[in-house]
Chain A
């Protein structure tokens, strides 16, 4: 036996089955603190499905058996920046691919852009996987999705920075059949998971609402409350001109009057404030037979 093999024969596993040959060197003083895998589900030795060190890193015989001087060869599989994403993902997918959440992983936006499981997930990370915790998930996603990071600071936003809504409330980062990795099949199905009052069906439908909420709203953040792409009446005029002289030009008078205002005319209730929505209030759909103009 080599000295290493001798030591292994007396060493005891600590967190994973058969980890003794690794933890004799990679012990509690190691950084990063790999033993913290014991705090995760991977560290439940009584569950026969959980991995060993070699399940992910390979048998790594040359790394384990190295004697004498010279650099120790790296383990068979390491998870650093030079390792191809497919290679890093292989040990994870060997157990996790056959599940509902990852059905659409192959060919998904993250897969084809070389995002690896470990790009987002911390396997040895003090038992806390940042991307799976509400308070810290967005921080991980924002590493790549920088426009969404900026959007989350705009005056109108979902409470993402506040940790009350997380990216995975709407998106499945492992792939989906919906657009933009949305959890449900369509945008509208996804939004009405929380905003079910806008699902209808209504007596008086509004086409952009029934087709796609993002026709008018921008979900990650906006300068215009509530998460609007534009401000009425201009938002409405992107699709409508008439009736009641809505086609008349709308200029600075839409800002109404205020101390020092250059406008001295009479503000219009159809132009200022909520503008069209001062009267057409059931804009997501109305259910009153009397409310054909979505007023009731």
Chain B
């Protein structure tokens, strides 16, 4: 009887554990330890625990439970959580979660300054780079040193809930995210005052951010319906306003780059559902949000030209977001399910449009520019019907219609002469965006999509599905749209088609036909063997775009096999092949009609294979083993073809404007083996091994190698993150109740 009690207790009472151990990583690599904290070679502590209790466990009638849990305590991926609840009444949870994103350990710079800081200076003896950045003096070359760059996220959370009665409850979620560190970013600087030939360096751009997020929800539920009213707030604060750095080209003069402005989001949400009957249900929601940003503009002498005449001190930006959705579902007969829904989303940018003096990086005044606060509205209507042909067959039809509008409420200019005025005064705001004016080329679109899906249960062991969809998006375009970054005073860019040639449309809002085919089969061959096979193909045709993306397609195939060896063991394997391709046509800008065009093709091929095995019950039930092997190969190719002849052939080694770029190649192999041995009733020894290797060849880094950079770019000597690393771990896990 005691043994039975013990066996029952083992199933219904929480098993607590404390695990301590160490891991050893053979080599240092930021990429290997990108998210795990295993970026440095050597020993790391393994620390995990989970302790639970409360009178709600066991055979009593208590309702209280608590848990304290720690994971990866010795690593920068650590987390710590505690919760307590009186189930049916209240609950409290606190949490801490840390994530270090190791970006690079091979970045080199001559600049001095703390990674994560916002002030970077050159060594006093560095001087200036007179001309070619590939011809540095020996002293300048020796000033380059390696800086590890990464960004850390520390998230603290608090959750609470209280149930007033069966109908009403309230929930609170609060998160405080603290970010530090930096991400690499290019910084342009001027070589010669008054020129436009920017010189480029790469610096750790600080991520000194704090984000507080709160969600307070009041829930009600009755016999047939439920409603949630909630307030959501998100408050982003940047600890810096800008990054100061010295010009490496002239006089080591001061330069300044802004960092993201602090912003707030307040959102009210109302969501609910109502069941008219068990067969007919209505669900919907409303949201209203105000996203504001009013950080003072960085107005210092270090900014380009001292900003000239600054018409206002901050943006006073306001975006109002509105959302509504409603969906009705009905299953009046067992065989037919119908659904109809509408979703409305609007982003209305209410920010004033004002005329600003724009200075190039060099400090030269490039004219008067107005900001264009972009707004858009998307309305989606969805209709669907699912009909059961018989007990083993379904057919489903879907129809979606999406209507998109884009506009600007305001566009600064001179009120008397409108947006074509040649010399408008600075300042504003103005609201003269007339009936004939647009701030985006694609002012709207209508997209109709029809889909059909068929499902067949061929037997208890075989399921098949197949589907096809066709969508046609027709876009309204205004080639005379005057968009952001178009000079208002006859500056350097012609104010047509957003500054791009007529016939050139951004792919994401261009007219497009899209077709999709997909199919899959699942087969449970016998008690031990199961297989699944599936695939998908899409084809995009941007038939109205003379330039820009013309067409694209993608396909994928998946195969999964699982075999059950016995009660405690199984092996599995999977493979996925993915292909993606897009073709775009561009037009050379320096020619006359008929314009010379060239085509670039992107081909992305990815292949993944995984093998897994696990076996328990070994050595009298004391030993469990598992292993996973993953192989992933990604290859991206670009090829360019010219449709015109040039005086110097495009294949000339000094030009190379046609042909294939070197393949972007990433091959990863990862082997994970782990085993746990039950020492006694309350202890396990766990051993683990990871072997992981990455072979990466990416031309991205060529332009940052000393001796090979563009003459205007300061090198970083970063390499693609290839590595071959072993990590072993051993730990002791003590269990108790």
State the A residues within 8 Å of B (CB): 12-15, 27-29, 33, 35-36, 38-39, 41, 43-49, 81-82, 97-100, 103-104, 106-107, 112, 114, 127, 135, 146-147, 149-150, 153-155, 159, 162, 164, 177, 185-186, 189, 192-194, 196-208, 210-212, 215, 223-225, 230-231, 234, 237-243, 245-258, 261-269, 272-274, 277-279, 281-282, 284, 286-296
Contacts and interface: CB of A to CB of B under 8 A. Distances in A.
Contacts of B590: 245, 247-248
Contacts of A100: 217, 219, 226, 228, 230, 271
Q: Which of A35, A103, A263, A292 has the most CB of B within 10 A?
A: A292
B347 interface: yes
Contacts of B236: 196-197, 199
B118 to A, nearest CB: 14
Interface string B333-368: 000010101010101010100001111110000100
A155 B7 contact: no
B186 interface: yes
B558 A146 contact: yes
A201 B630 contact: no
A203 B700 CA distance: 30
Contacts of A252: 640, 656, 658-662
B371 to A, nearest CB: 5
A103 B610 CA distance: 37
A284 B261 CA distance: 12
A162 B699 contact: no
B323 A185 contact: yes
B653 A249 contact: no
Contacts of B701: 273
Contact of A201 (B225, B317, B505, B604): B317
Contacts of A154: 606, 632, 634, 666
B249 interface: no
Given A39-B12, A223-B606, A242 B319 contact: no
A98 B62 contact: no
B13 to A, nearest CB: 8
B560 A201 contact: no
Interface residues of B, number: 194
12 contacts: A44-B65, A103-B272, A112-B396, A150-B578, A192-B265, A211-B508, A242-B499, A247-B586, A265-B656, A266-B710, A286-B258, A290-B304
Contacts of A254: 638, 661, 699
B273 interface: yes
Given A46-B87, A153-B668, A252-B659, A265 B257 contact: no
Contacts of A215: 508
Interface stretch (B17-25, B142-150, B295-303): B295-303
B420 interface: no
Contact of A164 (B99, B284, B292, B500): B99
Interface in B45-89: 55-63, 65, 71, 77, 87-88
A241 B710 contact: no
B317 A251 contact: no
Interface stretch (B372-380, B617-625, B727-735): B372-380
Interface string B200-239: 1000000101010100010101000110101000101010
A74 B200 CA distance: 73
A153 B608 contact: yes
A15 B287 contact: no
Given A240-B500, A267-B708, A269-B198, A224 B63 contact: no
B674 to A, nearest CB: 13
A234 B710 contact: no
Interface in B298-324: 298, 303-305, 307-308, 310-311, 315, 317-319, 321, 323
Contact of B699 (A98, A153, A255): A255
B471 interface: no
A55 to B, nearest CB: 16
Contact of A189 (B271, B297, B321, B635): B321
B327 interface: yes
A239 B12 contact: no
Q: Which of B406, B670, B713 has the most CB of A within 10 A?
A: B713
A242 B504 CA distance: 11
Nearest to A17: B61
A273 B501 contact: no
Contact of A45 (B61, B187, B345, B376): B61
B317 A279 contact: no
A81 B77 contact: no
Nearest to B653: A264
Contact of A288 (B287, B303, B650): B303
Given A205-B372, A296-B303, A231 B576 contact: no
Contact of B710 (A149, A207, A269, A284): A269
B120 interface: no
B188 A250 contact: no
B608 A106 contact: no
A264 B653 CA distance: 5
B212 to A, nearest CB: 10
B374 A210 contact: yes
B234 A193 contact: yes
A202 B623 CA distance: 58
Nearest to B200: A278
B44 to A, nearest CB: 15
A153 B587 CA distance: 37
A130 B705 CA distance: 46
A47 B630 CA distance: 45
Given A207-B374, A231-B664, A273-B702, 12 more contacts: A81-B460, A103-B285, A106-B329, A107-B283, A196-B236, A197-B236, A239-B508, A247-B589, A268-B710, A272-B703, A281-B257, A293-B360
A103 B226 contact: yes
B478 to A, nearest CB: 14
A225 to B, nearest CB: 8
A27 B5 CA distance: 11
A256 B700 CA distance: 8
Nearest to B498: A240
Contact of A207 (B4, B258, B506): B506
A38 B57 contact: yes
A204 B293 CA distance: 13
A281 B185 contact: yes
Contacts of A12: 59
A253 B219 CA distance: 60
B454 interface: no
Interface string B662-700: 101010101000000000000000000000001010011
Q: Which of A29, A162, A211, A252 has the most CB of B within 10 A?
A: A252
Contacts of B65: 44
Given A14-B12, A273-B713, A202 B261 contact: yes
A231 to B, nearest CB: 7
B260 interface: yes
Q: Which of A147, A198, A247, A293 has the most CB of B within 10 A?
A: A247
A135 B88 CA distance: 28
A287 to B, nearest CB: 5
Contacts of A288: 258, 297-298, 303, 307
Nearest to A254: B661
Given A164-B99, A255-B662, A269-B712, A239 B548 contact: yes
A81 B602 CA distance: 43
B88 A253 contact: no
B576 A292 contact: no
Contacts of A203: 297, 315, 317, 356, 371
B186 A277 contact: yes
A97 B282 CA distance: 12
Nearest to B293: A201
Contact of B63 (A47, A103, A223): A47
A177 B343 contact: yes
Nearest to A97: B273
Given A98-B273, A155-B634, A252-B659, A200 B600 contact: no
A281 B384 contact: no
B393 interface: no
